[in-house]
Structure 1
Amino acid sequence: MRYLTKLFLILLLVPTIMPAQEIIPMTASTEQSQPPRRQKIDGIVATVGDYIILDSDIDKSILEMKSQSRDMPDFSRCEILGKLMEDRLYAHQAIQDSIVVSDAQVRERMSKQIDYMVEQLGDMQKVVEYFRKDSEDDFRTDMFEIVKMGMLTQEMTSKIVDDVQITPEEVRTFFNKIPEADRPIFGAEMEVAQIVIAPKISDADKQAAINRLKEIKKEVQEGASFFGKAVLYTDDKASSSTGGFYKMNRKTQFVKEFKDVAFSLQEGEISEPFETEYGYHIIMVEKIRGQELELRHILISPKVSDQAMKEAREKAMLIKKRIDDKEITFSEAAKMMSDQKETRNNGGVLINPRTQDTRFELTKMDPSLYREVSNLKDNEVSYPVLDEEQGKKTFKLYTVTNRYDEHVADYAKDYTKIKALALKEKQFEAVGKWFDEKIKTTYVKVNGEYRDCKFTNDWMKKI
Structure 2
Amino acid sequence: MSFLVTLISFNANAQVKKGDLVDGISAVVGDEIVLESDILEQQNYAIQQGAAQTNKCEFMEQILSNKLLIYKAKKDTLIQDRTAAIRAQAGDKYNQILSQFPSERAMLDSYKFRSSYEMKNVIEKMDVDNYYGQAKYALITDKVNITPNEVTDFYNAFKYQLPQVKDEVVLSKIVMFPKLTDAHKQEIIDKLKKIKQDILNGETFENKARIYSDDPGSAANGGLYTNIGRGKMVKIFEATALNLQEGEISDPVESEFGFHIIQLVKKSGKLYDARHILLKAEPNAEEIATAKAEMEQIRKDILEGKTTFKDAAYKHSDDKNTKFNAGVIPAEDGSDRQEKINLPATVAYQIAGVNKGDLTEVFMDELNQKKAVVLMKVNDIIPEHSLDIATDFERIKSFALNKKKNEVLEKWVKENLADTFISLDNRYKDCQFKTDWNKAAIVK
Structure 2 length as normaliser, TM-score? 0.66
State the partner residue of 2:292: 313
Please report how far the alpha carbon of residue 115 of structure 1 lies from its aligned counterpart in structure 2 after TM superposition.
Answer: 10
1:422-445 alpha-carbon deviations (Å, 9 max, x no partner): 443354345435533443332223
Distance 1:393 1:172, change over 3 A: same
Unaligned runs of 5+ in 2: 12-21
Cα offsets for 1:220-240 (capped at 9, x unmatched): 9x99788x8877655465887
Aligned counterpart for 2:281 among listed residues 302, 309, 331: 302
What is the Cα deviation at residue 400 of structure 1?
0.6
Q: 1:92 to 1:212 in 2, by over 3 A?
A: farther
Q: Which amino acid aligns with 2:177?
A: A
Q: Deviations over 1:217-271 (max 9, x none)?
A: 9979x99788x88776554658878979799999x9x9xx9379769998x9999
Q: Distance in 2 between matches of 1:429 and 1:263?
A: 47
The 5 A counterparts of 1:53-452 are 57-58=35-36, 61-62=39-40, 78-79=57-58, 81-83=60-62, 85-86=64-65, 88-93=67-72, 95-96=74-75, 98-100=81-83, 105=89, 137=114, 147-162=123-138, 164-165=141-142, 170-180=146-156, 182-183=158-159, 184=162, 185-206=164-185, 235=214, 258=234, 277-280=256-259, 300-352=279-331, 354-411=332-389, 413-429=391-407, 431-446=409-424, 448=426, 450-452=428-430
Change (3 A) 1:410 1:387: same
Q: CA RMSD in A?
A: 5.5
Q: Quick one: distance in 1 between partners of 2:40 and 2:101?
A: 17
Structure 2 CA distance for aligned equivalents of residues 173 and 417 of structure 1: 15
SS in 2 for 1:178: helix
How far apart, CA to CA, are the structure 2 residues paired with 1:117 and 1:179? 47
Q: d(CA) in 2 for partners of 1:124 and 1:314?
A: 46
Cα distance change of structure 1 residues 86 and 381 upon mapping to structure 2, 3 Å threshold: same
Kindly state the Cα deviation for residue 398 of structure 1 after the two structures are TM-superposed: 1.4
C-alpha change, 1:177 and 1:315, in structure 2 (3 Å) is same
CA gap 1:147/1:322 in 2 versus in 1, 3 angstroms: closer
Deviation larger for 404-413 or 358-367: 404-413
Aligned residues: 411
Aligned-partner SS, 1:195 = strand
C-alpha separation in 1, matches of 2:208 and 2:137: 36
Distance 1:79 1:427, change over 3 A: closer
What per-residue deviation string (whole Å, max 9, x for no partner) do you get for residues 168-206 of structure 1? x72524412224373344333222122223323233544
Q: CA deviation at 1:410?
A: 4.7
Percent identity over the alignment?
25
Alignment TM-score, normalising by the size of structure 1: 0.64
Unpaired runs of 5+ in structure 1? 18-40, 129-135
Q: Following the alignment from structure 1 to structure 2, what is the Cα–Cα distance between the partners of residues 458 and 438?
A: 12
TM superposition shift of 1:312? 1.5
**How has the CA–CA distance of structure 1 residues 194 and 123 changed in structure 2, closer, same or farther, with 3 Å as cutoff?**
closer
My pick for the range that moved more, 43-52 or 434-443, is 43-52
Contact 1:16–1:113 (CA<8 Å) still a contact in 2?
no
- Residue pair 1:66, 1:72 contacting (<8 A) in 2 also: no
Determine if contact 1:335/1:345 at 8 Å carries over to the other structure.
yes
